[in-house]
Amino acid sequence: MNKDLKQKALEIISNHRTGILANVENKKPHVRYMTFFNKDLTLFTPTKLDTEKVDEIEKNPSASVLLGYEEKGLSDSYIEVSGTSRINQSQELKQQFWDDSFSKWFSGPEDSNYVLLEIQPETIRILNNEGGEAQEFQV
């Protein structure tokens, strides 16, 4: 893995918490905005255990995430992460990524309906990188 590309990807991820998650629903793409947290390029996003996302992931774990590209778009670098997703119920991670804004949906980090979607990247592409060509690396 190219360390410079990894560092650029980590920089984009750390500067953009809101992104787009795409997965598969009934053999078609399904996209939604989510909040993402990072742990060495593995992405985590909070969700309810009883949502359709969980059912979709159990049927097809393929997922893509877009992060970045929030200003005028002309020079914003952004990343596209392609990989597989799974449900993560680690109490340690749920506590680590807990934000008080989640209280709208959950009673706290111990809420049994509060889980994390974990997106394990396989390929990361950095796009619109200072007008240059897309750069890609395998994770």
- Provide the CATH number for the domain around residue 44: 2.30.110.10
| Model pLDDT, residue 131 | 66
Number of folded domains that form the chain: 1
Task: Determine the structural domain holding residue 129 and report its residue range.
Answer: 3-138
Banded model confidence at residue 113, pLDDT cuts 50, 70, 90: very high
Which is more confident, 75 or 51? 51
| Model pLDDT, residue 122 | 97
| Model pLDDT, residue 37 | 96
Answer whether residue 60 shows pLDDT above 90.
Answer: yes
DSSP state string for the chain = --HHHHHHHHHHHHH--EEEEEEEETTEEEEEEEE-EEETTEEEEEEETTSHHHHHHHH--EEEEEEE--SSSSS--EEEEEEEEEEE--HHHHHHH--GGGGGT-SSTT-TTEEEEEEEEEEEEEESSTT---EEEE-
pTM of the model: 0.90
